[in-house]
Structure 1
Amino acid sequence: MTRYALTRLALLVLGLFVASAVIFLTLRVLPGDIAQVIAGTNSTPEQVAGIRERLGLDRPLPVQYLDWIGGVFRADLGRSLLTGTPVADELAEKAEVTVPLGILSLVIALAISLPLGVLSAMWRGRAAGTALSVTAQGLAAVPVVWAGMVLVVVFAVWLGWLPAQGFPRAGWDQPALALRSLLLPALTIGIVEGAMLLRFVRSATLQAVGQDYVRTAAAKGLTRDAALIRHGLPNVGLSVITVLGLQIAGIIVGSVVIEQLFGLPGIGRMLVADVANRDLPKVQGELLVLTSFVLIVGFLVDLVHRVIDPRQRESA
């Protein structure tokens, strides 16, 4: 197990280095010049060149990359080219919205997919099971923006239960208002991601029904459903853990769009604005943090799966 963990950790570190290099180089080929943005439309070429020199943008790309990645190791993601504020500080502030939104979305997705996915499999061949399966297929195909707009119309416009946009200026100093502001965006992401995960849970449950240990338990006197719940669901849980990494990545991608739609001051909304403004240090930091989070979650999911699955431990 230790050898496996160290190998996966080495791959994680390598993946982070590759991701940082890809992020850095990709941003350098985007059109536009941040020095021109800062200088203004009426600036002279000499003024633009002076700004480029002051910001270090005239240095060779390998030097700029090494400076940036060296700062990352010191927990310094640089400063915004437009405002001069530390990128790490702004990320920490915006994470107070994005992280709770992601956690709440994941909880909703699991609350939908786990029980309904198992029921859909147990009710296979019945009208209720078919209805659950068809509904999940339809919801999984719905664009998250369209789902958000429908929920806004229903819960914010028609019923008036939840706010359509915004986040309290006092933030989590007003926890009730902050939570109400996140419920509708989290429902939007959670329903769509939950529908996708429901299909996977149903498939894993149906596969477990056909396993020998479930049939043996049924032959010893348990009903099919009781045998599945007692002996099959633990293996379904292992399969769900494996796919959770992909679901979390989907939630992160969805949050970028949803924060724009619901006017939430999170990392996703900040990222879109910074890309438009060509604020490279901020965009680099935001993309690296989001990518690192996805890679680290995948690493932890692999370790947890290895720990709780005795078959994998024996094959080590």
Structure 2
Amino acid sequence: MVKYIFKRIIQMIPTLIVISIISFIIMNLAPGDPSRTFIAPGMNSAQMQKIKESLGLNQPLTVRYMKWIKNILNGNLGYSFITHQPISSEITARLPATLGLMMSSMIISLIFSIPLGIICAIKKNKFIDNFITLISYIGISIPSFWFAMMLMTLFCSIFRLLPCIGMRSFHVHSTWDLIKHSIMPCMVLSFPSTAVMTRYVRSSAISQLKEDYILTAKSKGMSEINMLFKHVLKNSILPLITIIGMSLPDIVTGAFITETIFGWPGMGRFGITSIFNRDYPSVMAITMISSILLILGNLISDILYGIVDPRIRVVES
């Protein structure tokens, strides 16, 4: 297993290099000039050129990329064009908010998807199965921004039960206040993941219920509850580990939209603001950190897969 983890970490390096090259080229070839943010009315061409030189925008693309890579390897993410603050401190301040939102939504998805999927498998083609399946298809299909707006209309405008914007109320630092602010963003992020995971658990559980060992357990007089918890549940959640890794990209990209709509002070909102302001260093830093989080998430799911199913460890070793 250690050999396998080391191999996967080595494989991450070329992947991150390719992501950095593509992202850097796209960002620098996109329409717009970030130096215009610093240009005041009445400036002449010499002054404008001096601003471009100070930002390094007058150099060839390859030279800029190599300088950027060198700074990244030295732990220097650069300075934001907009706030003029070190990007590392900007991200450090916002990363916990994004990770907390992502982890909470993933935990909520697991808590709901596993029992719902098992119930659907036991009650296959009955009303409860058809109803949960319908809700799952809705969760997979609806756009996250539309769902977020509907929740805001319902819980903020009509019933006035939850706060709409931000992570905390002004001058309030209680845990309950944080929970109230996070309910709607977590719902928006977890609903699609719960829908997908429920479908996978249902499909896997139905397959397990048809296996010979289930018939053997029934013939030995094992109760349905024991059979579900000792055999069906364990084997049904195994594919879920892979689905969690596959769902991480959706959660990261969903966080950009969700944090912007709800005013959540995380990396997603910072990323959207940086994109609109042509803040190239900030966008590149957020892109690379998001990519690392996704790759690490997939690596963790592979490791968990190997822990749960020993046969995978034998194959990989």
Bigger mean CA offset, 230-239 vs 171-180: 171-180
Partner of 2:269: 269
Partner of 1:205: 205
Q: Deviation at 1:87? A: 0.4
| Distance in 2, Cα, partners of 1:29 & 1:107 | 39
Structure 1 counterpart of 2:53, one-letter code: E
Partner of 2:20: 20
Secondary structure, in 3 states, of the residue corresponding to 1:163?
coil
Bigger mean CA offset, 112-121 vs 302-311: 302-311
Structure 2 counterpart of 1:120, one-letter code: C
Partner of 2:10: 10
Structure 2 counterpart of 1:21, one-letter code: I
1:134 aligns with 2:134: yes
Contact 2:113 2:201 in 1 (8 A): yes
Query: How many equivalent pairs are there?
Result: 316
Work out the percentage of aligned pairs sharing the same amino acid: 27
| Distance in 1, Cα, partners of 2:215 & 2:312 | 23
Q: Deviation at 1:200? A: 1.4
Structure 1 counterpart of 2:165, one-letter code: Q
Secondary structure, in 3 states, of the residue corresponding to 2:100?
helix
Contact 2:274 2:282 in 1 (8 A): yes
Contact 1:197 1:247 in 2 (8 A): no
What are the superposed Cα offsets for residues 21-77 of structure 1, whole Å, 9 maximum, x if unpaired? Answer: 221111011011112232145433222211111122222322222222222223321
| Distance in 2, Cα, partners of 1:82 & 1:230 | 56
Secondary structure, in 3 states, of the residue corresponding to 1:184?
helix
What are the superposed Cα offsets for residues 175-222 of structure 1, whole Å, 9 maximum, x if unpaired? Answer: 332222111111122122211221111112112222232232223222
Contact 1:208 1:235 in 2 (8 A): yes
Partner of 2:49: 49
| Distance in 1, Cα, partners of 2:166 & 2:152 | 13
TM-score w.r.t. length of structure 2: 0.92
1:282 aligns with 2:274: no
| Distance in 2, Cα, partners of 1:20 & 1:206 | 43
Structure 1 counterpart of 2:116, one-letter code: L
Structure 2 counterpart of 1:260, one-letter code: T
What are the superposed Cα offsets for residues 268-316 of structure 1, whole Å, 9 maximum, x if unpaired? Answer: 1111111111110011111111111011111111122123211112223
Partner of 1:231: 231
Partner of 2:33: 33
Q: Deviation at 1:166? A: 2.1
Contact 1:274 1:283 in 2 (8 A): yes
RMSD of the TM alignment (CA)? 2.0
Mark the CA change 1:314 to 1:212 in structure 2 (over 3 Å): closer, same or farther: farther
Q: Deviation at 1:225? A: 5.8
| Distance in 2, Cα, partners of 1:166 & 1:176 | 14
| Distance in 2, Cα, partners of 1:282 & 1:260 | 16
Q: Deviation at 1:79? A: 0.5
| Distance in 2, Cα, partners of 1:171 & 1:30 | 41
Equivalent residues in 2 for 1:46-85, closer than 5 Å: 46-85=46-85
Structure 2 counterpart of 1:96, one-letter code: P
Mark the CA change 1:315 to 1:153 in structure 2 (over 3 Å): closer, same or farther: same
| Distance in 1, Cα, partners of 2:232 & 2:49 | 67
1:215 aligns with 2:212: no
Equivalent residues in 2 for 1:157-168, closer than 5 Å: 157-168=157-168
Q: Deviation at 1:226? A: 4.0
Partner of 2:194: 194
Secondary structure, in 3 states, of the residue corresponding to 1:315?
helix
